[in-house]
Chains A and B, each alone.
Chain A
């Protein structure tokens, strides 16, 4: 690769793949609305032309700053809704029934008002009606934030669709808010768009506290200025007709409203309500049913619009189970026949162990809460060494502590399943938020060569099935297997096909037959690096496992030949596994202008974005990797069929054009770096660390703008 030196004036300009771009930093107060900078391709490789052309763009960027400043001066909060096409009549509010293929509903409140329960039931009802569903909870940063705090939003997002849902989607269509303040944090998270319908509790308008009345008034003006369709509703007042304290029960009224707006089956909804309160008295169930009915009738009478989301027959699940990815992983542990999970609490992984603590006994298992992460993996390695392949579940900081033990398991060839539910790093980072930041440390973060199997679940269903596969791989290849998931999969809830577990899935009973004394404990097959493992209790198999360099007899051996052989054999196992693997499937056409490569939880959002772009006629496809070590075969061949290959990831990379960042020193995102080394191809990346899942709309924009840069590619405007 050659870089041309550019001398002279390149103010506002930067070059990417032979094309000049213009970029202007956004002033700090406007960043909430516009991001860090505004940029645009100048569609030229000539610096002189670019110098000329930049001024028009800069002017336009500046006028956008002014616009935003003007709205902010009008009392609008920093957040601004993405502009959409203006039309006189807000589509969302048009009277009558409209058919849609998917909709996103959010219910937000102060914590403790039952918004999550309301959304969960909505999700269950929709799942039962055959809709695809993705539910994700909105969790405030504090355990019990004060009431009516902007950052205290607690609630839930429910995405319902005709087809199977694979991600949380873009901006919400309909929001129910128990107070106006909690909407602010959602707005600054860009959860809403212009036109989003907000059904807002209006009791605050009449609050005895003047400050609250003013807040409410100001907020209404803010929301209107931002293009939200706010409909004020006397929810509290209506509930008071039925219950003396609607703080408990308002959520069921709201559920009734939403079920009316979305034509949900009321019998199913009421059955679910009864299920939730089954431990309470008949009276409690009746009150909640009454609230539900009241909400339903209220919406019928007072809300003119409604939506139908017909369930597609082809995506209907045969027999569904509803769960989040952490529960799925916990169930996967059980179905894999693993009997021991040793863990130390860490967000966002812990809920997997919470679930296991409840049900693990059903398959004869036990959760050990260790004194720290090192002890947890040590405990698991002990059980595994003794013939009961165990599992440890953690997140980034815990992985860091386990590193030395993972090296021991590699060195001494102890099968082990490690589940890493990734969160934002480094250090304590973003404990509750998603990131795909542990790939490199998982692959390489150990002293010496530490080859191991690393796989990444891309769906909630895979969170289940991959554990079963991991246990088998760990035992077949006598190695630790790391399964990466993340906070997005861990906390996203959806109906998935119920796995049909069979007896073969479980670990076979402990083998305690005699060991052939002539077979060494590391009787490596030169071709595959594989060997059978003596289990304590097997007569004749006695050996001393050691983390020191050792020979086939597991005797400490510092000589060159033994050390080299051990290293070779442990690495050979990955080559042996690679030989059994198939190339990944390409989503979309097998060749084209742009190929997106992803891994982990971004699958749904990437494929949805690719499908949207393809519907516009863009020649973009995607590939999603499940195995990162060994890497899946055939990548170079697949990549060479596209003009440009780019990873999309939720981890850090330098953005081209940032201060001091050059082609030479640019730091790539993690998978991109690995793939560049693996294929020797010029693989680009787009990555961000937003602390929330990537949304299809964002990825779609990235696809459009990258296609503009590719010479000869069909861009969207062309």
Chain B
């Protein structure tokens, strides 16, 4: 209910939201699943930014990860496999007042929804896009996804994935008009929170690829990284992520990276030997399509009627 402002004066808000105000049903994800941590981060970012639950919409496709909206107590749209982004963009197109989040999986976003991924990035509407990348199809029980590492066995490729995995970061960084590209791992809470918060604050489509553990089907993927932190490189910068030294100590391999440098971001993404974590690219000035689609919202019905008659006049005999 109350908040103290910097000058010690008392600010009385009519509503103050706690974590509970964003928390929905009890998650049905497996124990040890990385999705739990991501959900917690989303709840916290919503709470910290005090967005109204009724003004928040969580949109998803189909998959384990796409269950996220059910675990929110905001508005939600759990739609079709691969099609979260068109729906989210449509919501935003005429309702710029709504805070739109998208939860999607590696299959959902990079396979069946790949066309929408590329185009939504270019539309750059103000949407927070979280890709839960567990490197596998979880919900449908362990089929190869576009990001399944080479040689990892799945039910569709029992002797191991045949082709090298798609690199979602380099693909995303190759799209025109992108404005925010980041990568995190689900198991580091401070970094997770920091990046999702920055993604949410950013005006435009913020793409966050989250390396997410699926201990049930592909435990090896998360484990390999956890066992060998040197395979990850934490990127920090005053314009990007700033974390305290404790976090840095967990990522001995860290470096300064200016997120406005697209060429450097692409080089980092291309390097298969280490996984870059943090904000790779940020351009707050990229044109936003939602600014274009939302024209005319303030027209009154009288204005519209006058416009209608003008339109009909064009065809008058």
Contacts and interface: CB of A to CB of B under 8 A. Distances in A.
B231 interface: no
Contacts of B98: 386, 536-537
B95 A547 contact: no
Contact of A502 (B77, B78, B93, B305): B305
Given A375-B119, A379-B87, A405-B80, A386 B302 contact: no
Nearest to B313: A321
A536 B57 contact: yes
Contacts of B57: 386, 536
Interface stretch (B39-47, B222-230, B293-301): B293-301
A368 B54 contact: no
Given A128-B317, A547-B78, A547-B79, A390 B90 contact: yes
Contacts of B310: 362
Interface stretch (B67-75, B160-168, B202-210): B67-75
B293 A541 contact: no
A634 interface: no
B307 interface: yes
Interface in A488-525: 495, 498-499, 501-503, 506, 509
Contact of B90 (A331, A382, A543): A382
A690 interface: no
Contacts of B304: 334, 337, 363-364, 506
Interface string B179-203: 0000000000000000000000000
Interface string A330-357: 0100110101101000000000000000
Given A364-B297, A382-B89, A548 B73 contact: no
Contacts of A127: 317
B80 A386 contact: no
B309 to A, nearest CB: 7
B116 interface: yes
Nearest to B298: A364
A271 to B, nearest CB: 12
Contacts of B91: 382-383, 385-386, 536
Most buried by A among B25, B59, B89: B89
A544 B70 contact: yes
B250 interface: no
Contact of A382 (B55, B93, B115, B294): B93
A521 B93 CA distance: 23
Interface string B104-122: 0000000000011011000
B2 interface: no
A58 interface: no
Nearest to A503: B301
B63 interface: no
Nearest to A317: B317
B252 interface: no
A378 B87 contact: yes
Contacts of A530: none
B287 interface: no
Contacts of B58: 544
Given A331-B311, A506-B304, A544-B77, A388 B317 contact: no
A321 B89 contact: no
B305 A503 contact: yes
A94 interface: no
Contacts of B87: 378-379, 381-382, 385
Contacts of B55: 536-537
B315 interface: yes
A144 interface: no
Most buried by B among A317, A322, A371, A543: A371
Interface residues of B, number: 60
Interface string A522-553: 00000000000010111111111111100000
Contact of B69 (A377, A388, A540, A544): A544
A183 to B, nearest CB: 31
A387 interface: yes
Contact of B311 (A337, A359, A509, A547): A359
Contacts of B294: 366
A5 to B, nearest CB: 52
A334 B73 CA distance: 35
B78 A378 contact: no
A536 B95 contact: yes
Given A124-B317, A375-B116, A375-B119, A541 B86 contact: no
A380 interface: yes
Most buried by A among B54, B72, B115, B316: B54
B86 A378 contact: yes
A548 B75 CA distance: 16
Contacts of B26: none
A556 interface: yes
A327 interface: yes
A320 interface: yes
Nearest to A128: B317
A372 B75 contact: no
Contacts of B246: none
Nearest to B94: A388
A384 B95 CA distance: 10
A410 to B, nearest CB: 13
A365 B93 CA distance: 11
A503 B295 contact: no
A323 interface: yes
Nearest to B308: A501
Interface string B258-292: 00000000000000000000000000000000001
A64 B301 CA distance: 66
A340 B77 CA distance: 19
Nearest to A374: B83
A556 B77 CA distance: 12
Nearest to B97: A537
Contact of A335 (B94, B308, B317): B308
Nearest to B309: A501
B295 A366 contact: yes
Sorted nearest first, the 5 A-B pairs with minimum C-beta distance are A382-B90, A364-B296, A378-B86, A362-B307, A544-B76
Given A339-B297, A544-B70, 12 more contacts: A124-B317, A331-B308, A364-B297, A371-B119, A374-B83, A378-B90, A379-B93, A382-B86, A388-B95, A405-B80, A540-B54, A545-B78
21 contacts: A128-B317, A322-B317, A323-B315, A340-B90, A340-B293, A362-B307, A366-B293, A372-B115, A374-B83, A375-B83, A378-B87, A385-B77, A386-B94, A387-B95, A495-B317, A506-B301, A536-B75, A539-B52, A542-B73, A547-B80, A556-B70
